[in-house]
Chain A
Amino acid sequence: SQQGEEDPQALSIQEGENATMNCSYKTSINNLQWYRQNSGRGLVHLILIRSNEREKHSGRLRVTLDTSKKSSSLLITASRAADTASYFCATDAQGAQKLVFGQGTRLTINP
C-alpha cells in the first residue's frame, strides 16, 4: 500500500490565498519530499525535509514535518494561477533505495 497519503484530494482557492496540503505516512523515514506535477508532465522536485528537521522554507513554500504524528504539510503562500498543479509527497523508508509516493492533491488556483 502507499506510504504517503495526501489530504485533501482536491483543493480550489482564489489567487492570492494560501494553500495547505497535508501528507501522512506509516513507517520511519529518512526524509520526506514534495513534488509538483503539471498536467501531462513529469514530476518536479520542490523541497526535501530530513527526519531531524521540523520546518523548511523555499521561496513561497513552507514544509513542516512531525515525525511523532508521521505527518507533513506543504504551505504555498500568496498563490498564483501558475501554482495550479498536482502536488505529491514521497517518503523513503529507512534503508530503502526508493521513494513511495502518495495519491496527490490537485490544486486549482482561480484568477
Chain B
Amino acid sequence: SQTIHQWPATLVQPVGSPLSLECTVEGTSNPNLYWYRQAAGRGLQLLFYSVGIGQISSEVPQNLSASRPQDRQFILSSKKLLLSDSGFYLCASSAGTRPQHFGDGTRLSIL
C-alpha cells in the first residue's frame, strides 16, 4: 500500500521568508500527486495537482508554487511567505481518481 511522507510536521516561519515543503511517496509508481491547504475547522482546498513529472496544475492564484522533480516527489514552495499562507498543508497521492492516500500534514504558522 502507499505511504506518504511529509516533513516537517510543524514549521514556524517569519513573514517574507522562503518555504519548501517536501512530500515523497512509497509503494506506487506514476501516481497523481496533490497539495491541499486546510484552514482550522474547515475543508480541504486543492492548491496543486500533478499527473506526471514536471506537470503541474494550479487550482488557485496564490503566493505558492509546486514542482515535481521526480516521479514520487512533490514540493511546495514560496519565495516570500505571507500571513495568509498559514494553515495545515496536506500532500496526497492516488492512481487516477481512486481513493487518495494522505500524509500526516505540515502545520505552518507565519509570524
| Interface of A toward B, CB cutoff 8 Å | 2, 30-31, 33, 40-45, 48, 88, 90, 92, 96-104, 106
Contacts and interface: CB of A to CB of B under 8 A. Distances in A.
B97 A31 contact: yes
Contacts of A92: 97
A98 B46 contact: yes
B85 interface: no
B104 A41 contact: yes
11 contacts: A30-B97, A42-B90, A44-B102, A45-B99, A45-B101, A88-B44, A90-B100, A98-B46, A101-B36, A101-B43, A101-B46
Contacts of B42: 103-104
Contact of B46 (A30, A42, A48, A100): A100
Contacts of A97: 32, 49, 51, 96-97
B10 to A, nearest CB: 10
A44 B99 CA distance: 9
Nearest to A46: B99
Interface centre among B32, B34, B46, B100 (most CB of A within 10 A): B100
B99 A42 contact: no
Contacts of B92: 42-43
